[in-house]
């Protein structure tokens, strides 16, 4: 059973990671971090050193959706994936939609995805806090 749980956890982490890499803003932020880190070392970079990631944004996003589907299967059929994790990953995937016709309203997508992800985080911490209160009694 421990191997199945590790596998499911790994799929969840992979889904979140690939959905995060699918959004342009994340790629841009990563580039800015690399440029900032290099400038601290005295290296000046003109342009975006990680611009090549924008070419693979759609395949990363599709892989994230496929892994989310696998997680959904595990959640609904086997009851071995947290619903909060599923909602969190779905929020990240919605926020990082890279398709131009759908992504004409990025603020709406970021808002919906951010609300879902933030809600999942709040539910997670609320469960942890309620669990600690129950054990103290």
What span, in angstroms and rounded, lies between the C-alpha atoms of 61 and 22? 5
Name the more confident of 123 and 8.
123
pLDDT tens track for 49-67: 666 767 777 888 888 888 8
Reading the block at residue 47, the tokens are 């342009």
17-44: average pLDDT: 68
Judge whether residue 75 has pLDDT over 70. yes
Q: What is the dihedral of CA 104, 107, 108, 114, to 10 degrees?
A: 130
- Termini Cα distance of the chain: 31
Q: Give me the pLDDT at residue 10, please.
A: 78
Answer whether 0.75 is exceeded by the pTM: no
- The CB density around residue 10, as the number of other CB atoms within 10 Å, is 11
């Amino acid at each position: 059973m421990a191997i199945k749980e590790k596998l499911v956890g790994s799929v969840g982490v992979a889904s979140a990671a690939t959905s995060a890499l699918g959004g342009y803003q994340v790629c841009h932020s990563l580039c800015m971090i690399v440029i900032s880190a290099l400038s601290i070392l005295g290296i000046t970079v003109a342009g975006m050193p990680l611009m090549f990631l924008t070419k693979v944004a759609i395949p990363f996003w599709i892989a994230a959706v496929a892994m989310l589907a696998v997680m959904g299967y595990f959640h609904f059929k086997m009851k071995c994936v947290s619903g909060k994790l599923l909602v969190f990953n779905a929020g990240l995937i919605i926020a990082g939609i890279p398709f131009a016709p759908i992504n004409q309203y990025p603020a709406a997508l970021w808002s919906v995805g951010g609300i879902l992800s933030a809600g999942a985080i709040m539910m997670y911490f609320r469960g942890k806090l309620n669990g600690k209160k129950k054990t103290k009694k």
